[in-house]
Amino acid sequence: MTKAPSGIKACFFDAYGTLFDVNAAARALATELGDKWQPMAEMWRNKQLNYSWLRSLMGRHADFWQLTGDALDFTMEAHGVRDAGLRQRLMDLYFNLACFPEVPAMLQSLKRAGLITGILSNGSPAMLEAACKTAGLDGLLDHVLSVEDVGIFKPDMRIYQLVTDKLDLPASAVAFHSSNGWDIHGGKTFGFYSIWINRSGQPQERLPNPPDVILKDLAEVPRVVGAAA
């Protein structure tokens, strides 16, 4: 297995889709949504990201919670679902997403090895605080950084710089992990050692600066960064 070079001091993670399961909210209501739940989950996520990029280009920032609601409204209308109570339950579930099963043990391994851990996310501070608390990750993360400190979304280079400014470390000392290919290319462009968590077997993006390592989930991260017991 490919291993990171020596000198990695910190491991930072994208939140949504990387640590937290973005499909969990719609999946929890699959009985009511029926066979619409998965296409709705996928469209909800795609529109959420599309709105982040479009608002960044337009210079019309709104926080990720508003984008999440706007994307859900579009998705529900596109699928002919008109139910205010259902919408509220989906939003409540998204605010308190579960993490993927391997996440707590992985973070514990990194902490035992003395690595700095953190989140770098499009999510608003309130969203990230709630998700970390729900998943029980509070004590396993040293830093939780939100794009709200800059007012623009990834992959703007100013977002990745939040990490190096906060830690006073060079980009090469940070291993960055994301399930989003475009995000990984952004982090690699900034200078991070970049690990793509390709959970669904997606083809690689045709963008500059590909990832250093591709994994199917986060379980092997400690081995890659030299933190395995």
- Kind plus residue range of the DSSP H or E element containing 223: helix 221-224
Catalytic site residue 83?
no
Catalytic residue (choose from 14, 21, 63, 183)? 14
Q: How far is the C-alpha of 126 from the C-alpha of 123, rounded, in Å?
A: 8
Around Cβ 116, how many Cβ atoms within 10 Å? 20
The backbone torsions φ and ψ at residue 169, rounded to the nearest 5 degrees and listed phi first, read: -125, 155
Cis geometry, peptide bond prior to residue 210 (ω within 30 degrees of 0): no
Rounded to 10°, the helix 181-190/157-167 angle is: 60
The backbone torsions φ and ψ at residue 137, rounded to the nearest 5 degrees and listed phi first, read: -100, 0
Q: Are the beta carbons of 22 and 97 closer than 8 angstroms?
A: yes
What amino acid positions are annotated as catalytic residues? 14
